[in-house]
Chain A
């Protein structure tokens, strides 16, 4: 059901919006519908000039809570710098 997907992605979406208020693209997808495998896509000016490693570190930091407590079982990250 679509509503379950929204419930599972919404808290992550909120954490990312808080961490990247100037994001030009911010998307969280529940890859399996099970509420624990996610694909997040973030485009933000904060990434410009940073290595991929540091870009992903910022996303991991934003999602540290759900990563630590096991809410996120698997996380895929796509980041892009933007103007």
Chain B
């Protein structure tokens, strides 16, 4: 397994909510990433953003891991929840909060906040 793929796996497995997106939570570069992030923010989720635009290889490796072709991709506790459409649908039905509570615990909002991680090796 290559190094980048391992770093992607580490983020998916270790971050409570990992969002592979275009841009960062602070500077979103795509309408769909924005939709997913809005839904997660409204649910009070702690979000770790990973910018796939940093290197085209990230997106390629990610899709091979997840079997999901498009961006964004939202993972909760290592499990793919879906892209923007599913995240929005789950938020609208109340299911998103239920999934977050189930996987992260009922007090998941206490750790709400946003951060970005970079998958590129330090120069």
Q: Which residues of A are interface residues toward B (Cβ below 8 A)?
A: 52-53, 56-57, 60, 64, 67-68, 74-78
Chain A residues within an 8 Å CB radius of B82 = 52-53, 56
Bound-complex Cα distance A76 to B70 (A): 10
Chain A residues within an 8 Å CB radius of B84 = 76
What distance in Å separates the Cβ of B42 from its nearest Cβ neighbour in chain A?
A: 18
Give A67's nearest chain B residue, CB to CB.
B69
Q: When A and B form their complex, what is the total count of cross-chain residue pairs whose Cβ atoms lie within 8 Å?
A: 31
A53 and B86 form a contact (CB under 8 A) = yes
Instruction: Give the size of the chain B interface in residues (CB under 8 angstroms).
Output: 15
4 closest Cβ contacts across the A-B interface? A67-B69, A52-B86, A77-B85, A53-B82
28 inter-chain pairs at a CB distance below 8 angstroms, sorted by A residue, are A52-B82, A52-B86, A52-B89, A52-B90, A53-B80, A53-B81, A53-B82, A53-B86, A56-B82, A56-B83, A56-B86, A57-B67, A57-B68, A60-B68, A60-B69, A64-B69, A67-B69, A67-B70, A74-B31, A74-B32, A74-B70, A75-B70, A76-B32, A76-B84, A76-B85, A77-B83, A77-B85, A78-B85
Chain A residues within an 8 Å CB radius of B81 = 53
What distance in Å separates the Cβ of A20 from its nearest Cβ neighbour in chain B?
A: 17
The B72-88 residues at the A interface (CB cut-off 8 A) are 80-86
Chain A residues within an 8 Å CB radius of B86 = 52-53, 56
Chain B residues within an 8 Å CB radius of A77 = 83, 85
B69 and A68 form a contact (CB under 8 A) = yes
What distance in Å separates the Cβ of A58 from its nearest Cβ neighbour in chain B?
A: 12
Chain B residues within an 8 Å CB radius of A67 = 69-70
Chain A residues within an 8 Å CB radius of B80 = 53
